[in-house]
Each structure stands twice: as structure tokens, then as C-alpha cells.
Structure 1
Amino acid sequence: MNIENRVSQFLFGLSSSFAILSQQFYIVIPAAVIMWRVWLLVKDRRKTSSIKKQIISILLISIPLLLPLWLFVKWKGLLHPMSQCHNISFHIENLTAVFTVLGLVFIPFVISLKKIDKKTIFIFAPVSLILGIFFAPQWGDSQGPGIFPGITFHILHIIENFSPIFSTALNVILVFFGLLLIYSMFDYVENDWEKQLFFIGILLIGVYSFNTILGEKHLLGLVTVLFLLIIPRLKQFTLKAYILGMSVIGTLYFSYWLYLKNTG
């Protein structure tokens, strides 16, 4: 392991420590990386060079995390005492929201999947129907149990004003796409780097489901991780069009929210 890799690992731990203090969801990322490297340590326990490499890596990532850990101990929780008013509880609506957003954001990749077996459709179709019909969160300006702010459910909310049936059907389809996305990744990830990224994504989905104030902005970490996995698997034209389209949509929605939302 050269010095550049060691510096990168230390900087990763340092940047993660600051990210955690600004958004506690990000604690999953360094935790997942450390867990993954511990697993590699156990897996390659007979290789002395590998053991040394993983131990050094774990230490370099962990040392900067002592800063937020010290604050968490002092606060007696992940948040400052003044902000510790939110309970941790499972909300299936959050899973629906996550898969709906993923289904919309990664449409170019999902529709490019060449082969989807009937068994997969048979399993995910009823799950999508149940989540999309019975456990879909409502769009709202604020965050709370069963409420999910953000562009995806805002679009569904607007459509619902014209056709509730079409809005629900679209939600079901997007949930189905989101499930297909995650399922397909099990076959697409190849090397340890990609497996590590995917592991982070799975843990993030699990953590999101236990939050009471989840919004689309909180999914940035998950979307980024999956985007890193998907980039190499998209054609250049599709990738460029995809990035341009998402940039334009994001800019327009941000401008609307910032300048037009509260105007008469």
C-alpha cells in the first residue's frame, strides 16, 4: 500500500467525520467501509500482507472518526440535545419512497436491462403493488412519518390532482423499477470496490427505513453510491443525455422552490 492510498484513506475518514456532523445518515458510509474491510481481514486472515494492509486501512479511516464519536458521547446521542426530539422507528412508507425515487432517477439504466426473467417479475410485481398502493407516503413541504418532500413525490402529487389512478399506477411502476435496480446490482457488481459500494447502498436503505423525518434530499448519499456503480454500464450518449437531463430538472425544481413557490 503506497503513501497515496494511505493519505486517501485518512482523508476519507476525515471528510466522513465532518459529513456525519452535518448529516447523521452518512455515518453508515464509513461504518460500512470499516465493516467491509474487517470482513476482508477475516477472509484473508492467512495472508500476512493482506492482514497488515487491512489493519492499517481500518486505523487510518477510524482515527478521524474519533471527533464525531467524542461529540456523540458528550451529546448522549447522534444529535445535539436540543435536536433529540425525533424517535427511531420503522416506517415502511420510507422504503416505498426510496424505491420510488430510485426508480425515477435511474430509469435510463433500468430500461436498458436486457433480460428480466419471469420469476423476478412474478416476485416484484405484487410487492410493488402493495407498496405503491397501500404504503405510499404523501408529498408535503415538511418532513414527518408518512410525509416525503422532494421532486419525485411532488410530481406524483401534481398528477394526482388530475388523475389519482394514474398517479398511483406511476408510483407502482417506479417502485418496480427501483426494486429491479437493486436486484440487478447483485449480478452487476464485480470487484471488491463495487461490492463495497453496493454494501454501503444496502445499509443506507436499511437506515432510511427507520427515520421519521426522511426527505428526498437525504437520499443523496444512496443515489451517489449507485450512480458510481452505474456510470460504467451506460453508453456514453445515454450517460451524457442522462446527466444533462437530471441537471436541468434539478436546476428548474430548485429555482421553483427558491423563487416561485411562495409567490402569489
Structure 2
Amino acid sequence: MAPATNTPRDYLELKKQRQIVFYPAGDTNFTLYEDDGISAKYQKGEYAQTRITSQLADNNLTIKLERTQGEYEGFDPEKVTELDIRTKKAPVAIEVKVGNDEVQLTEVNSIEEFEKQANCFYFDQHYLTNPYLKEFNPKLEQSFLRMKISQTDVVQTDLTVNITGVDDTPVAVNKIPAVNDTVAIPVELKQDETQTTDTAISVLWEPVLRSESYQLKIDHLLYTNIKKPQFTLNSLKPDTLHEFQVRVVTEKGVSAWSPKVNFKTKIQVEKEK
């Protein structure tokens, strides 16, 4: 990753840093590639590569950045390294080795402190892979352990990190409540003939009181987060039959599915020449 920049010149000022984002999951590996970003000299072997591996066993995570191999014009081996690791909980312990030397990281309490210092870590509960996303949807924030290791020669030294206490438990998004038999099933699921065409089927049903949303099962495919008691399925073929069911989502749970109903698109009418 790299901070957002507005011009290529701005990006050149970031050559002394590297930022890697991890979503821990078993054994993983990746090769970080870089070249001058301008010429075709990479075709002659002028580029650099860094192999990165990670192993997550229970709640123990090991990350290794091997020595960078290769170079290109303008390559600067002296780099600050930032590791951003997705975890729901703050770590129990962190061990860092640059080459054979142990490095002590200091915990900081704000992103402002983290950005000003090196050899530090911060448990960021409002992490965004792209900070510009915040103005669109604050729910995209995640919990990340952020670590920054001071400038080192990445050609001469490798970097190993051991973290105890990583929690990679997935967070459910748009989790649907369990079926509740007391929730009324939507009724009167029918075709809206005024909106149905040879390539679209429009359906409607009676609204359910205090509904949060509706779901449709159409030809065994699930359509969710439907806010109104109506829906139009597009991009169909003329004179074809399709199976529909509907259920409602409420704070008490979801209803059972309504009975299956088949609706057909209209027959295509050829236009006169």
C-alpha cells in the first residue's frame, strides 16, 4: 500500500517507506515487486523484489520480509517499514528482529503519535484501507494493529515479527436474523402486469407492518435488502417462466418463505419494418 497522492512527484517522495497490509489466514506468501515506474528497463532485469511470508497458528502470527533482491535506477534501499495487521484485539506481545538485532517497539495512544514516530505500534480501531472512504461510510472501519519499524537497509537485512494474541475471527456483515414463526409471511405475491415486459418481470406484495426489509428468492437466487414491497427483475428472455418467493426481515427475525409462484415474461412483439 501507499498513502494517497495527487501527482507522480508526490509518490517519488514515498520511496523511503513501504506499507504492507495483512489479513492473517494460515500460511501465506507474496512477492513485492517494484521498478522505476517510468521506463522499460525492467525488461532488462532492472527491478527489485521482496518475498514476504506469514504463518498464523492459533493466535500466534509470524511475518517475515526477506532481504530485497535486485535494484533499479533511483532505488533507495533505506526504507521505513509499516505493517498493518487485521486483528480484533490488541496484541499480548510483539517481538521484532531486524537481521539479528532485536528492536523494541513503544506503544502509542493515537494515530497522530504513530505518524510522527518510528519503532512504535498502535491498536487502531478506526482503520480504513483508504482514509477517503470515511466520508462515504464510517461502518467500513476495522480494527488493525499498526507497526512502524525505523529506516533500515532492506537489501542487507531481513525483518521478522512475532505477534501473540492475534484475533482473526471474521465479522459478519448484513447478518440475517433467525427465522421466527411469529413473524407474518408476506401475502398476495403477484405479478404487476403494467410493469412486466418481454425482458422484465415486476412483482409486488402486501406490505408487512414494522418491516426492515424484504428478501426474494428467484430461481433459487437470493435478493436482499429490498426496502419496498415491490421488485423488478431485468435482463430476462421473452416468454420465459421464473419462480418467485418472498419473506420479510424484522427486528424479531425473518418470516418463513411464501409459497412458490411462477411468473412469465411477455412474448416479444416484432416491430414493423
Give the TM-score range, shorter chain: under 0.3
- Normalised TM-score (structure 1): 0.19
Larger Rg: 2
| Greater helix content | 1
- Normalised TM-score (structure 2): 0.19
| Greater strand content | 2
